[in-house]
Structure 1
Amino acid sequence: MRAVLMVLVLAAKVLAQGPYSLQGVVKDQQTGEVLAGVNLRLEGTGLAAASDDQGRFAFPAVEVPTPVLSASHVGYQVYKQRLDLDRDKIWTVVLHSRLLPGQEVVVTADRARERQTPSAFSDLGRSAIAARYQSQDIPVLLGELPGVYSYADAGNGMGYSYLKVRGFNQARVGVMVNGVPLNDPEDHQVYWVDLPDLASSLEDIQLQRGVTNSLYGSSAFGGAVNLVTSTLAQEQGVSATLGTGSYGTRRFSLAMNSGLVDNGLAIHARFSKMVSDGYRERSGVDQWAYFLSAARYGEHTTTQINLYGGPEVVQASWDAVAESVLKQNRRANFTQDQDHFSQPQYQLIHEWQFSPRLRLHNTLFYIHGEGYYEGFRDGRRLLDFGLPAIQTSEAGLFGADSLNYYQNTESDGLPVLARESQGRFTLERTDLVRRKWVDKDQVGWLGRLEWQHARGQFSAGAQLYDFSSKHQGRVMWAAGLPGMVGHQPVYYAYRGAQRAGAFYVRELYDLSTRLKLTGEVQAQYKNYRFHHQQAGNFSGEERNAYEVGHFFLNPRLGLNYNLNARVNFYASAALARQEPADVEYYDAFAGPDDLGADPLFARSDTLVQAGVVQQVTWHDPLIKPEKVLDFEWGAGYRVAGRTAKLNLYWMDFRDEIIPYGQVDDDNVPVRGNADRTVHRGAELALGWQLTRGLALDGSLALSQNYYAKFSSPYWDEAGKVVVYDYSGNTIPLFPGQLANVRLSYQWADTGLSLQAQQVGKQYLDNTKNEARAIDAYGVVNAGVTQQVGWGGAVAQVQLHLNNLLGAEYETSGYYFGERYLYAAAGRNYYLGLKLSW
């Protein structure tokens, strides 16, 4: 009877308690910051939740009094704890990073950490991205960060845009999305135009400056940009974004989040449409974009699939405009080329936590690029386009310029049209429309193993990828050539292929509680093959082939010392090398699509079969790989509401491939090796929370980028070759001073911002001639955001007023008898509305 009574009492107690309520908040163990999008599960109950933007979570009805709470998040160790819910409390879940300083998180690349990583870096979180993003490309979005200069040739931040860091163009800045490299294996460029509206799906952007021996691929000289896509495990919801702005800019986006469902699956989808006429004439863009992602979160594994991209049509504005023309029409653009391209990207990311100390990360990726650009060219030789000379009885097909198009001879010392025996004229040149087509495929694997030990962390990783490309050119139309248009002849065709592998080891070692050592070494090998195919007049000795291989060993060593809770110091030294891009193996003004142009190699072999020349194979390239030794010193200070970071750097280059200040027929800068160059400077970043809701942020970068030893031949006005010594001159096309300041105010659901930027003078060529420079300029921008609850939805309105003072300025250019410049937009606006359910 006594036992029965005891059972009844216990049962009554349990029944009286009923379902339990569980509430809590999730924080980062290192920073103390709350974490959004953390996956939480009560094991054995089927209950799941995700933390919100404030790190909070709740399980309103839990039947089990002592459940096991499991929490997992990208880049963190799995958390497990048995809870006693017979207590009224708010639980705090503290997640430990799965990495140490400088190591990557699962969907980032070379991730830096405050007071731990010995490098200069800046972060843009989701809220900062959302506040600054209008419709501009990512380089323009990053334009406020220290040491960064960016612009778009259309003048309004869309279309073809460019990112420069510390005087290096984006071919020397490593760019990654979730650890997958974006730099093209052939030309090393990043084609931001093929990533429309990607900023809408980003969780975080981190820019590291200086040599960052990317754990996945080539060393980056100027820095590395790590783009991290949005965390999937958020609350369920749908959002629609509408935007309109100056110069016919329009943006529409529709996004969906499934939230975390019971089986640990989360899905995100976004579709976007963006169009603009561009600031400059005939510089419009028409872009579709999509981003699809699905993730499965298990107890010890995370699997994520991403698919993103979008076709684009761009009215190219690649050519700068003469200053004399800009004085009459600042929006002038004589280019009539069009660019059609699509580059879908596929990622499969998998992480496996074997134990609290051991983790394996694998990524498979595939990138396919396909498209073309076409444009009008006048006065071109038929021979260069695989077309025969035309016999015609018409002597004036090209009006007053006909003498330049026909075969001619001299009569009384003057050029006249030549006639053949039957009295006809020979047409040797014409006006035409050419189309350059490219088809590229890249498939690769990234692997990383991390071992947490008592004094730090050891990691080892590798990369393999295979890349292939097909290039061809067609004549789409030609004046004065009847019957040609129908078959659109191919006038050049060539193929490229690259196979690459890299391996690295890294040790992150705690010498003491305050002093941390980072040491790593990376070995990489790349093999690139090129060969012409039979097309047009590319036959016999006009067909070239070559194969080049490069092996690099890149070490890096750094120290970080935390003096106290407020101040830290760091220093690092790194050696990095990079191979030339494909176009840099060819003559300055000609490339593999130009008939008669030979690659820049020291010797060649001619392949002859049956007495007929088949092709010429080249050996020993004259263009050299680049090598840099980078020294960095820095200090950081942080206290409640205030931060300051100062970085000093000295980068000593050998054989830097530098611009000569001119461009070729495709508007690609002419380049070559310089014996020795130096990039040195200071970077300062400040943050100050003035009052509640009012914040001031600023940055200042002062740099000197100059030739320590460099001379180059050129032709003077008399046609003689003269060697000019440029030693001591400034490397062109980067400002020596960059300053940014932003004042932000947030009160309840209202946000205000005022931002100013000052950009220093840029030289257009190597002469350091003040008459051949872009003037310094300053720009002021403002923004307003307002969020309003509307039924079951939330509406957010944003208004951006750009170039408030209507400054007239230019962003880049070159010199060719006079200054040729890219004009930027005047006063303009963007108005956006986002509805979320």
Structure 2
Amino acid sequence: MKKTTLISLLLVAVTTCFGQVNFTAQLKNAKTSEPIESAFVRLSNSSGATSTYSTPNGTINMVNIPKGVYTISISHASYKTNVGTIDLNQNSKDKIYFLEADMAFLDAASISTVRAKHSTPTTFTNIERKEIESLDQSKDFPFLLNMTPSTVVSSDAGNGVGYTGVRIRGIDPTRVNITVNGIPINDAESQGMYWVNMPDLASSTESVQIQRGVGTSTNGSSAFGASVNIRTNELSEDKFTRADLGYGSFNTQRVSLTHSTGRLKGNWAFQLRGSLIQSDGFIDRASSNLKSANITAAKYWEKSVFKTNILLGSERTYQAWYGIPQPTFNGDIAGENRYINQLYIGGSELQNLQNSNSKTYNSYTYENEVDNYNQNHYQFFFDHKFSPFLKLNTAAYVTTGKGYFEQFKNGETLADYGIDSIQPTGDTAFEGDLVRRRWLENVLVGGIANATYSKNKFETVIGGGYSNYQGKHFGEAIATEFTGYEDIKARYYDNDATKTDGNFYIRQSYNFNNLIPYIDLQYRFINYQFDGLDDSLNFNDQEVSYGFFNPKMGLTYLLKNHTFYGVFAIANREPVRDDFRDNKPSEWPEHEAMENVELGYRYTNGRKRLNLNLYTMNYTNQLVLTGAVNDVGEAIRTNVKESFRQGIELDFQYPITENLQAGGNLTLSQNKIESFTEYVGEWDGTYGTISTQYNNTDISFSPNTIAAAMLSYKANDHFTLNAQGKYVGKQYLDNTQNNARSLDAFTNMDVSLNYTSKEIKGTKLLNIGLYLNNVFNQYYAPNGYTFSGYLGGERQDFNYVYPMAGFNWMMKLSMTL
């Protein structure tokens, strides 16, 4: 028996020895033949994968590799990735790989430090150019993100063009950090993101990364639960001209032209895009007229790049901000009549309500009830590589904005607008109808810089940024019922604001046998000067400053096709403009703080992919609406001491057959406020305030379940059929978890057919897409708001919703010459 066992062990050992090989090679710069250190080398096949890093003298050394044919991938931040096939059925040595210096990495340098890598311990989703082109159907940018985990998108106009928004894990847009090429885009004061100001951004987008949780250190407003990092198009080495045309439901039209010069003599490159998007909107009169341009120029040297990226945007959208009364949308006549009676809806307003389609009603009827705004982004980058291990990335930027929204106001007191009671007609009038514009004119100037040192499995990033914001807020009455249109310019308020925002961070990681500890330490400082209420309820100059320490610590373990990670992060966030302006200094709210833990697993093997993560986000002093009002009757947000979000996210992709692929994601979560007091005013009687204490209630707009499913069938080299469905659970309109103030759960299904060919004579690429949206014609509302009051001692709730269109379609033609 012992002999048999010994012989068996010897046979196994011999078989093992003969079944394994060693692989040795050299990495060199294709131009200088210098060795390349710290390149990541990965061998993979159907049996698994193994990886290593090149040594200081450029050596690749891998031992005891199972025999077989492998795909070899060699990547380095400063060089173009080399992917090929290698036969390792016997020992391999003395092979030399030459890598070409990649100047394209400099094009993306500024965003490389705000993006997570495969080895970064954070939760993220990437969308690459090919998928963006497939998804892009002329809607605003949030709709590209719709099928990513934990997202809910909405549109005021109902068809995805105009004012749109996205929530991630239930987090509102003011808490989601947005960067384009690493440069902050969120409004400095409100911290909101107005996607309508950047029309057709998708046509200029190379890739997107959505980080959930605190994520990596970034620039601009705090990533208080999520961030979206957008990288604009790389400059092509080849010359091309592309035309994108679209037409669909609600008279939605798009024309976009792009021309790239390719790489010119002297290593210059230029690219220009211009776009026009128009739509009548699903909601009555909710039209959009959007224009944009993108101008890019770059000069390349051997170790440096200078690049200019200019994004110009102009929008004129008819307002649909008021929403539709929920009873009207649901066909509830009795409920609609309650709104009419208790909100005193009458005259032409009542006639408009009763004569409109219940799914498309818009309370605004004045012909110029529009938002008219221009926003331009000027971005300048200079990047230099000192050595294969050290690079410097810098950027300067200027963002300008100017525009207004126009409103018709009925029966206003003219003295409130500085308008004399003696009218041009000679009559005396103290009240009257008027038209006003509320203006915002602002400029943001800033710079960012970072240095990356990567050697001997260490990577260190040191960076920071600084910006200065100047905002002018003012209002003008431009007409009354006694004057012609734009005959007057009566300025009735005028206030300025200045905000400086700076940050400094250091990030360190070390790869110890594929166990990678990670630390990211950021200090952020803010100074905000504005015109706000003082303790005597008069408007005077005010100032507030903050300093925040935001540490992040994590660990990643790489095992063949598997990645395990965990991270603990802290984020802090200052209140927004209205929180300061609408409160006297003694009642300014506290800043918000959050502790975030992410534990995750990633598996990638060819077309197979699985991501699974658990998260918890514990808030201190989260700012929420509770119904409280200030001393002059304005609704204000107040701090709630403790609240949290926690859940599990699953994201997968699986090839059922060579031509059929399935995918999807699921989020199950709890989102709770532990305790808060709601305040509701009495609208008659004593006109007092009634308070109610609530415990352990759901946070508003935070569905406990979000799911998505996708199916893609590639019929042949030209045709691809895609189907995708989305489910969003019930959302509460406030924080009381009351079904009377909620949005119903909904399911939506879209289908698209894409034709692609490189064989059409006279073209380099032809793409035709047909998009059938909401194929089951389900009317649903992903967004809304509510307010309440007591009448006759009984609480009355008033819910308004922003519904999405029923079945609609879009067709696009993209032709590259």
Please indicate, yes or no, whether the TM-score normalized by the shorter chain is above 0.5: yes
Q: Is the 8 A contact 2:80 2:99 kept in 1?
A: no
Query: TM-score scaled by structure 2?
Result: 0.80
Distance 1:571 1:341 in 2: 43
Read off the aligned partner of 2:521 and give its amino acid letter: V
Q: Is the 8 A contact 1:29 1:96 kept in 2?
A: no
Q: Is the 8 A contact 2:574 2:592 kept in 1?
A: yes
Which residue is 1:331 aligned to? 360
User: 2:740 aligned with 1:764, yes or no?
Assistant: no
Instruction: Show CA shifts across 1:643-697 (max 9, x none).
Output: 1111111111011112347999xxx985322121111111110011222232111
Q: Is the 8 A contact 1:273 1:289 kept in 2?
A: yes
User: 2:777 aligned with 1:803, yes or no?
Assistant: no
User: 2:300 aligned with 1:297, yes or no?
Assistant: yes
Read off the aligned partner of 1:821 and give its amino acid letter: V
Which residue is 1:782 aligned to? 751
Q: Is the 8 A contact 2:186 2:221 kept in 1?
A: no
Distance 2:748 2:363 in 1: 26
Question: Which of 179, 197, 203 pairs up with 2:200?
Answer: 197
Q: Is the 8 A contact 1:75 1:99 kept in 2?
A: no
User: 2:409 aligned with 1:377, yes or no?
Assistant: yes
**Aligned pair in 2 of structure 1 residues 523, 118: CA closer, same or farther (>3 Å)?**
same
**Aligned pair in 2 of structure 1 residues 541, 164: CA closer, same or farther (>3 Å)?**
closer
Read off the aligned partner of 2:545 and give its amino acid letter: G
Read off the aligned partner of 2:584 and give its amino acid letter: L
Greater Cα offset, 433-442 or 638-647: 638-647
Distance 1:381 1:735 in 2: 43
Secondary structure (helix, strand or coil) at the match of 1:219 reads coil
User: 2:583 aligned with 1:584, yes or no?
Assistant: no
Query: TM-score scaled by structure 1?
Result: 0.78
Which residue is 2:794 aligned to? none
Which residue is 2:568 aligned to? 573
Secondary structure (helix, strand or coil) at the match of 2:221 reads coil
Distance 1:243 1:132 in 2: 13
Read off the aligned partner of 1:361 and give its amino acid letter: N
Root mean square deviation, CA, Å: 3.1
Distance 2:776 2:629 in 1: 33
Per the TM alignment, residue 431 of structure 1 is displaced from its structure 2 partner at its CA by 2.5
Question: Which of 128, 131, 152 pairs up with 1:125?
Answer: 128
User: 2:614 aligned with 1:648, yes or no?
Assistant: yes
User: 2:432 aligned with 1:437, yes or no?
Assistant: no
Read off the aligned partner of 2:726 and give its amino acid letter: Q
Per the TM alignment, residue 799 of structure 1 is displaced from its structure 2 partner at its CA by 0.3
Distance 1:321 1:723 in 2: 28
Per the TM alignment, residue 388 of structure 1 is displaced from its structure 2 partner at its CA by 4.7
Q: Is the 8 A contact 2:767 2:813 kept in 1?
A: yes
Per the TM alignment, residue 567 of structure 1 is displaced from its structure 2 partner at its CA by 2.4
Secondary structure (helix, strand or coil) at the match of 1:513 reads coil
Distance 1:835 1:92 in 2: 37
Which residue is 1:314 aligned to? 317
Greater Cα offset, 342-351 or 719-728: 719-728
Which residue is 1:553 aligned to? 549
Q: Is the 8 A contact 2:561 2:604 kept in 1?
A: yes
Which residue is 2:711 aligned to? 743
User: 2:624 aligned with 1:635, yes or no?
Assistant: no
| Runs of 5+ unmatched residues, structure 2 | 1-38, 45-73, 83-94, 332-356, 788-796
Distance 2:555 2:485 in 1: 67
Instruction: Show CA shifts across 1:603-629 (max 9, x none).
Output: xxxxxxxxxxxxxxxxxx521111011
Q: Is the 8 A contact 1:125 1:203 kept in 2?
A: yes
Read off the aligned partner of 2:116 and give its amino acid letter: A
Secondary structure (helix, strand or coil) at the match of 2:698 reads coil
**Aligned pair in 2 of structure 1 residues 483, 148: CA closer, same or farther (>3 Å)?**
closer
> Any residues of structure 2 matched to 1:199-214 within 5 Å, and which?
199-214=202-217
> Any residues of structure 2 matched to 1:181-580 within 5 Å, and which?
181-326=184-329, 327=331, 328-335=357-364, 336=366, 337-388=369-420, 428-479=430-481, 481=482, 486-510=487-511, 512-531=512-531, 542-562=538-558, 564-580=559-575
Distance 2:478 2:629 in 1: 24
Question: Which of 730, 734, 742 pairs up with 2:702?
Answer: 734
**Aligned pair in 2 of structure 1 residues 541, 700: CA closer, same or farther (>3 Å)?**
closer
Read off the aligned partner of 1:678 and give its amino acid letter: F
Per the TM alignment, residue 150 of structure 1 is displaced from its structure 2 partner at its CA by 1.2
Q: Is the 8 A contact 1:213 1:522 kept in 2?
A: no
Read off the aligned partner of 2:658 and give its amino acid letter: R
Per the TM alignment, residue 698 of structure 1 is displaced from its structure 2 partner at its CA by 0.3
Per the TM alignment, residue 775 of structure 1 is displaced from its structure 2 partner at its CA by 0.5
Which residue is 1:415 aligned to? none
Read off the aligned partner of 1:803 and give its amino acid letter: N
Which residue is 2:117 aligned to? 113
Distance 2:150 2:413 in 1: 45
Greater Cα offset, 148-157 or 209-218: 209-218
Read off the aligned partner of 1:367 and give its amino acid letter: T
Secondary structure (helix, strand or coil) at the match of 2:142 reads helix
Which residue is 1:37 aligned to? none
Greater Cα offset, 91-100 or 127-136: 91-100
Per the TM alignment, residue 716 of structure 1 is displaced from its structure 2 partner at its CA by 4.5
Q: Is the 8 A contact 2:440 2:472 kept in 1?
A: yes
Q: Is the 8 A contact 1:75 1:106 kept in 2?
A: no
**Aligned pair in 2 of structure 1 residues 541, 107: CA closer, same or farther (>3 Å)?**
closer
Which residue is 1:818 aligned to? 798
What is the identity percentage for the equivalent residue pairs of Structure 1 and Structure 2? Answer: 30
Instruction: Show CA shifts across 1:674-729 (max 9, x none).
Output: 12111111111001122223211101112221111322333346533333222211
Read off the aligned partner of 2:566 and give its amino acid letter: A
Distance 1:805 1:646 in 2: 31
Q: Is the 8 A contact 1:661 1:765 kept in 2?
A: no
Q: Is the 8 A contact 1:348 1:363 kept in 2?
A: yes
Instruction: Show CA shifts across 1:106-164 (max 9, x none).
Output: 444521122x1111100110010000110111111101110111111110011011111
Q: Is the 8 A contact 2:479 2:488 kept in 1?
A: no
Runs of 4+, deviation exceeding 6 Å: 95-100, 390-394, 661-664
Which residue is 2:641 aligned to? 675
Read off the aligned partner of 1:782 and give its amino acid letter: V
**Aligned pair in 2 of structure 1 residues 669, 140: CA closer, same or farther (>3 Å)?**
farther
Which residue is 1:705 aligned to? 671
**Aligned pair in 2 of structure 1 residues 700, 79: CA closer, same or farther (>3 Å)?**
closer
Read off the aligned partner of 1:776 and give its amino acid letter: A
Secondary structure (helix, strand or coil) at the match of 1:333 reads coil
Q: Is the 8 A contact 1:74 1:106 kept in 2?
A: no
Per the TM alignment, residue 641 of structure 1 is displaced from its structure 2 partner at its CA by 3.0
Per the TM alignment, residue 239 of structure 1 is displaced from its structure 2 partner at its CA by 1.0
Q: Is the 8 A contact 1:105 1:111 kept in 2?
A: no
Instruction: Show CA shifts across 1:207-258 (max 9, x none).
Output: 0000125332333012111101111034211111111000010000111111
Q: Is the 8 A contact 1:495 1:532 kept in 2?
A: no
Per the TM alignment, residue 345 of structure 1 is displaced from its structure 2 partner at its CA by 0.5
Per the TM alignment, residue 381 of structure 1 is displaced from its structure 2 partner at its CA by 3.1
Q: Is the 8 A contact 1:30 1:96 kept in 2?
A: no
**Aligned pair in 2 of structure 1 residues 199, 73: CA closer, same or farther (>3 Å)?**
farther
Instruction: Show CA shifts across 1:560-579 (max 9, x none).
Output: 122x2132211111111011
Per the TM alignment, residue 441 of structure 1 is displaced from its structure 2 partner at its CA by 0.5
Per the TM alignment, residue 259 of structure 1 is displaced from its structure 2 partner at its CA by 1.4
Q: Is the 8 A contact 1:763 1:769 kept in 2?
A: yes
Secondary structure (helix, strand or coil) at the match of 2:697 reads coil
Secondary structure (helix, strand or coil) at the match of 2:134 reads helix
Per the TM alignment, residue 172 of structure 1 is displaced from its structure 2 partner at its CA by 0.6
Instruction: Show CA shifts across 1:316-349 (max 9, x none).
Output: 2111111233335211111352011111101111
**Aligned pair in 2 of structure 1 residues 522, 97: CA closer, same or farther (>3 Å)?**
farther
Q: Is the 8 A contact 1:98 1:105 kept in 2?
A: no
